[in-house]
Amino acid sequence: MTGAFEVEKGWAAQDPDATTREQLETAIAAAEAGDAGAQSQLADWFASRLEFGTAGLRGELGPGPNRMNRVLVSQAAGGLAAYLLSREPSPSIVIGYDGRTNSEVFARDTAVIMAGAGVRTTLLPRHLPTPVLAFAVRHFDASAGVMVTASHNPARDNGYKVYLGGADRGSQIVPPADADIARAIHQVALAPIDELPRSTDFVVADDSVVDEYVRLTASLGNSPAPLTFAYTPMHGVGWETARAVFAAAGFGEPAVVPEQLEPDAAFPTVAFPNPEEPGAMDLVLAKAAEIGADLAIANDPDADRLAVAIPASTGWRRLSGNEVGWLLGWRAAERAGVDGVLGASIVSSPGLRAVAQHYRLDYKDTLTGFKWISRVPGLSFGYEEALGYLVDPAKVLDKDGISAAVDFLALASELKATGSTVEKHLLAFAEKFGGFASGQISLRVDDLADIGRMMAGLRSAPPAEVGGIAVERIDDFIDGFEEYPPGDILRVHLAGGARVIVRPSGTEPKLKVYIDASSSDGDGAARIAAATAIVAELDAGMRELLA
């Protein structure tokens, strides 16, 4: 067929990656021969384009504009360079990358395109955690930063996360910058990427930036009682940096999971490299049990998230992101001055608000994502329930799983020195602030349209009750709500103060449901039990609604 698949052939002609170019050329040849499967595959690769949004880019590796590849990343780099040059005459950028497939390749492509465009460019010296890149944006006073990572996504994915310096102080991009960058990328994509100027005139940073990150992060910790703890970087890039921080903070060397210690883009021991997923922490929990540890901790592959498990009366128990957030928030409130501010995403537990009220501190709810949390004015501590914690805003304006680990280790050490434990401290929290419980339903879909259908169903037929508990009102964020910008979010307020929030995931093909309840009746254990029972009722009710 003359003229068929010209767009696909044009993409293949400019693709510098032999693997994706061969995939594409093979599919084109098969499609031209009438292979329906190849035609369908090409349609998937080319029917749409990975959207550049407030998380930058993230998607599956492969050819075409609907996948992560060197052509798409080069277009993104060219567009971002044009955007930066439109903002200031001599912009600068620092670029980092993790251990995923093609992360270093994408980072180096970005460096040569940025340098070719006249942007002063610094490339971090090797694969490093995302928090180190976020720190480096401010450390180098850069105009912007790029981190090539897909964080905790499946092994087949990669991503491209953008930070802005200057007035944005090293935070992730938010509107309208994301749309402005997207427009610049689309303009660049009108021409082949080999027309982009390139230069190797960029700087590879030395270890001083990592050393300074380690020094400042270690200063958060203290160890009045020795701790035994197990650690895993979950096949990611956290170990080298975390190890140095733990040693400098006085916590010594953790027991590690050797199978997960070094970066491995295949993530062979976990179904999903996300500490939240069932089974992901099995190996580190086994190691912790083997040595009789005080704690088990895990970072996700780019080390911006932290998971914690403790030995409890019923065996090893992984703490929820909200529980870790409450305890670190309580700790932050005690050391904050009168002008301290606590913040959390709207889907995180109301428990942190109770802490702020107790200490007469300001509190701010934000939309999900640290791009919003990090921008709370005067922030002392912020978190979101998806294992993200910002404990040191003076150093990094993003979630940081290594600094959060240091802060939590210091808390555990202080408790141990007084004869207490983290488990007892959770009961003390309930006694002081109320018993809070949270739950989450995460519905993974194969067809993203299913998420839209479920959200539309809830809007067209809003429930009068959930799990036998009456609905008092529903906040719909679709056109904006109060001070919040528009978002595909429903917040359901129920009798007794419980709530349910439903939204699509911003990074994975999932519909997420967040359930929260609280109780102030009885002692700490009774309060937690009562709140937990309400969460269970609401969980069952939401599963029935969404079935």
Determine the Cα–Cα distance for residues 422 and 540; give it in Å rounded to an integer: 29
Which residues are designated catalytic?
A: 151
| Contact (Cβ atoms closer than 8 angstroms) between residue 120 and residue 90 | yes
DSSP single-letter state for residue 275: T
The contacts of residue 475 (CB under 8 Å, 6+ apart) are: 481, 490, 491, 493
DSSP single-letter state for residue 53: B
Provide the residue type at 121 as one letter: T
Give all strands (DSSP E) within 173-326, no chain letters.
203-204, 229-232, 255-256, 295-299, 306-312, 315-318
What is the 3 state secondary structure string of 437-495?
EEEEEEEECCCCHHHHHHHHHHHHCCCCEECCEEEEEEEECCCCECCECCCCCEEEEEH
Q: Give the Å distances, CA to CA, from 166 to 84, 124, 396.
A: 12, 20, 14
Determine the Cα–Cα distance for residues 246 and 256; give it in Å rounded to an integer: 13
Determine the Cα–Cα distance for residues 510 and 512; give it in Å rounded to an integer: 6
Task: Classify residue 449 as exposed, middle or buried by CB count within 10 Å of its CB (0-12, 13-18, 19+).
Answer: exposed
Task: Classify residue 24 as exposed, middle or buried by CB count within 10 Å of its CB (0-12, 13-18, 19+).
Answer: buried
- 290 in helix, strand or coil? helix
Of 114, 214, 205, residue with least CA distance to 162: 114
The contacts of residue 506 (CB under 8 Å, 6+ apart) are: 54, 55, 368, 369
Q: Give the Å distances, CA to CA, from 217 to 341, 388, 441, 447.
A: 21, 16, 34, 42
Distance of alpha carbon 258 from the chain centroid: 25
Angle at 380 between CA 368 and CA 360, to 5 degrees: 100
Sign of the Cα torsion 141, 144, 150, 151 reads positive
| Contact (Cβ atoms closer than 8 angstroms) between residue 288 and residue 255 | yes
- Residue 339 neighbours by CB distance under 10 Å: 9
| Contact (Cβ atoms closer than 8 angstroms) between residue 402 and residue 388 | no
Of 297, 322, 275, 279, residue with least CA distance to 426: 322
